[in-house]
């Protein structure tokens, strides 16, 4: 989460960054503005480690998932938040289709909210990616004066901690490898949006900044529970 925050800081310096990652263990992430009491009051979720995201939105259980984070200067992203959600979801839909997942569709007309449900994937909004009305991709954002970060998770398979949320495996029978999917998304992204990617490691200064953010915020219990 500290690394995602760095992407937002880089965006404010007019640098675009795209990051993909997976999770070493099932983990809950709360949206930036959510109350930490949501975790302690949930019998299912309180047994899991948890973090607070830079982005807004609702709680997620990250388990069998490929996560992306995109940082962009606002002069590139623009001020209408849904534009890039739809653009990226269309890219990911094409990448999934290229790998055999042809049932996915953008959830343009339908909105569905399940009152009392804690998790983001129980709630559908325009631009979400769905299969048979089951959400497999949703994104959230966080804006600052000159930069924005967009963060989303692609649900590859169902977690035992969220039995009501089937993933691509359960909905299609297709078991996707996260690394193969990552590479396909990058390929489609470049073709569709005319981006050129330069893969690089973090600089020493960036690694130091990530550690500062982790210690002061995302790895700090007092900061995580202040809401």
Distance between the two ends of the chain, CA-based, in angstroms? 17
- Rounded to an integer, what distance in angstroms lies between the CA atom of residue 75 and that of residue 96? 29
pLDDT at 70: 96
Q: Are strands 27-30 and 50-52 parallel, antiparallel or unpaired?
A: parallel
How many angstroms from the chain centroid is the CA of residue 167? 15
Burial grade of 72 (CB within 10 A; 0-12, 13-18, 19 or more)? buried
Per the CB < 8 A criterion, the answer to whether 47 and 160 are in contact is no
Classify 151 in phi/psi space as left (phi over 0), alpha (psi -120 to 50) or beta: beta
pLDDT at 178: 97
**pLDDT tens-digit readout, 63-81:** 999 999 999 999 998 877 6
Sign of CA dihedral 15, 5, 55, 167: positive
pLDDT at 119: 81
What residues contact 200, with CB distance under 8 A and at least 6 apart? none
Q: Which CATH architecture has domain 2-224?
A: 2-Layer Sandwich (3.30)
- Rounded to an integer, what distance in angstroms lies between the CA atom of residue 157 and that of residue 45? 18
Q: What is the pTM of this model?
A: 0.90
Whether the per-residue pLDDT at 114 is higher than 80: the answer is no
pLDDT at 115: 53
Residue 141 in tokens: 């954002």
Whether the per-residue pLDDT at 179 is higher than 70: the answer is yes
The answer to whether residue 16 is catalytic is: no
Using N-to-C axis directions, what is the helix angle for 178-193 and 81-98, rounded to 10°?
120
**Domain residue spans of the chain:** 2-224
Higher pLDDT, 103 or 179: 179
Active-site pick, 38, 120, 140, 176: 120
How many CA atoms within 13 Å lie on the side-chain side of 168? 27
**pLDDT tens-digit readout, 9-66:** 999 999 999 999 999 999 999 988 888 888 888 888 889 999 999 898 888 999 999 9
- Rounded to an integer, what distance in angstroms lies between the CA atom of residue 222 and that of residue 1? 16
């Amino acid at each position: 989460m500290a690394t995602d925050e760095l992407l937002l800081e880089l965006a404010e310096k007019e640098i675009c960054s795209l990051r993909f990652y997976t999770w070493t263990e099932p983990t809950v992430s709360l949206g930036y503005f959510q109350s930490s009491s949501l975790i302690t009051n949930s019998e299912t979720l309180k047994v899991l480690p948890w973090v607070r995201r830079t982005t807004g939105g609702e709680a997620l259980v990250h388990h069998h998932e490929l996560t992306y984070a995109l940082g962009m200067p606002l002069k590139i992203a623009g001020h209408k938040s849904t534009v890039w959600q739809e653009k990226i979801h269309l890219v990911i839909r094409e990448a999934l289709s290229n790998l055999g997942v042809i049932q996915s569709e953008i959830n343009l007309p339908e909105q569905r909210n399940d009152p009392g449900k804690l998790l983001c994937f129980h709630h559908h909004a325009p631009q979400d990616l769905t299969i048979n009305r089951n959400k497999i991709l949703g994104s959230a954002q966080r804006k600052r004066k000159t930069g924005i970060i967009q963060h989303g998770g692609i649900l590859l398979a169902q977690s035992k901690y969220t039995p009501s949320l089937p993933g691509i495996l359960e909905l299609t029978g297709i078991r996707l490898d996260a690394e193969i999917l990552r590479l396909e998304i990058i390929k489609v992204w470049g073709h569709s949006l005319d981006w050129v990617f330069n893969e690089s490691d973090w600089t020493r200064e960036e690694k130091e900044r990530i550690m500062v953010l982790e210690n002061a915020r995302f790895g700090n219990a007092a900061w995580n529970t202040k809401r």
